[in-house]
Copies of this chain bind each other. A is one copy, B any other.
Amino acid sequence: MADRLKVIAEPKRLLILHLLMEGVQCNCELGDALQMPANLISHHLAKLRAAGLVDAERDAVDSRWVYYSVNRTALVELNAAFEAFFDPARIKPRRPTCGPQALIVASDVVTSK
């Protein structure tokens, strides 16, 4: 979970992901939009690909060009995992096991209040 979050917790990568969702695709276009050198885009795209969030596909006519796209399945899975972990309903009430509160609770048990 932390690994996946780290990948998307980087500002530039978030922007790249955003642009990919908007339909932007190739390295050069991302570079123009984000004012970043191509090699840096490559670096971030590699991380996004390693995380399975982004797919790459070469052009059928001119294979020098690579088109990137967001992996919809991975995004769905990410959403599910995030929602499961950060679900507010998971918050349990206080369970004092140390400090003065723990003693009070313990005495309640003893006196059967």
- Write the residues of chain A forming the contact surface with B, with a CB cutoff of 8 angstroms: 1-2, 5-6, 8-11, 14, 18, 21-26, 28-29, 59, 61-62, 65, 67, 69-70, 72, 75-76, 78-79, 82-83, 85-88, 90-101
Contacts and interface: CB of A to CB of B under 8 A. Distances in A.
A59 B100 CA distance: 8
Contacts of A85: 14, 18
B91 A86 contact: no
A4 to B, nearest CB: 9
Given A29-B97, A94-B25, A83 B79 contact: yes
A89 to B, nearest CB: 9
Contacts of A26: 98-99
Contact of A92 (B23, B76, B90, B91): B23
